Amino acid sequence: MIEILEKVALKEIEEQSFELTKQYLSVHKLVYENDKPKIADVIMNDGEQSAEFYFSIVDEDYYFVVYLDTSPEVKVRFMGMSAGNRVYLSVSSNVTNLEKLLEGVHLVPIKTWQKGTPISKINANRFYEDSGSTLLIWNAKMKDFDAGCYIDGELLIGAGLNETIHFLQKLNTTKTKEILEYIEQYETNDDYMTREKVIDFYSKYYRLT
């Protein structure tokens, strides 16, 4: 069954029968392995009689997803983007030194710190390397009422107001149109919403510099 589903999902990428597929893939390049798009994950929803195929995108942390109906016949239902996920493990101790902690964890750490040593500074620029983060931040902001209040709208345009508008206009989806309507409020304040000033503000706010 999975082989049949895979063929249908790959066929949609190859033929792009849906206009939305054309729009997404016109601005995103999929990762290829063995001459075909790389499938990062497959989720089967037996109760809904559907399946989701997640395809990796070059230099991005989110995925292009093809949604399929699995019954009564296998066919493409829809397609879209999905945010990536990361799982972090944080370990701390007031009595065990760093070397002993690492021996017990058996994982390669992303970063470490030991009491009495300087805390390395974080480069804020890495949060604003491309406008693709806008979609992930918007998804988080729209999750519920509290998230909508706590996540600043300015974070949507960290790559620059004009750059973000151009990126969203190229995608031209229902979601990106919603984001464009939301960030219109910043177009009257171009001086404040430059990339450099947004980074400078949040670097100081979060004490990253």
CB atoms within 10 A of CB 1: 9
Q: Which residue type, as a one-letter code, is found at position 110?
A: I
Structure tokens at 201: 């503000």
- Given a contact cutoff of 8 angstroms between Cβ atoms, the answer to whether 72 and 48 are in contact is no
State residue 108's pLDDT score. Answer: 66
Which tens digit of pLDDT belongs to each residue from 159-200?
778 878 887 887 778 888 888 888 887 765 555 567 777 777
CA separation for the pair 178, 31 (Å, rounded):
28
State residue 128's pLDDT score. Answer: 43
Domain ranges of the chain: 2-82, 117-205
Which tens digit of pLDDT belongs to each residue from 84-105?
766 777 778 888 877 777 777 7
Residue 163 contacts by C-beta under 8 Å, 6 or more apart in sequence?
A: 131, 195
Structure tokens at 172: 């031209």
Which tens digit of pLDDT belongs to each residue from 108-156?
666 677 666 665 554 444 444 445 578 888 888 888 888 888 888 878 8
State residue 190's pLDDT score. Answer: 52
CA separation for the pair 187, 170 (Å, rounded):
18
Q: Top-level CATH class of 2-82?
A: alpha beta
**pTM for the predicted model, two decimal places:** 0.47
State residue 6's pLDDT score. Answer: 96
Please indicate whether residue 206 or residue 19 has the higher confidence score (pLDDT): 19
- Given a contact cutoff of 8 angstroms between Cβ atoms, the answer to whether 56 and 81 are in contact is no
Q: What is the DSSP letter of 194?
A: S
Which tens digit of pLDDT belongs to each residue from 60-84?
888 999 999 999 999 999 999 888 7
Long-range contacts of 129-132 (CB under 8 A, 24+ apart): 129/159, 130/59, 130/159, 131/159, 131/160, 131/163, 131/164, 131/166, 131/167, 131/168, 132/60, 132/61, 132/62, 132/167
State residue 119's pLDDT score. Answer: 55
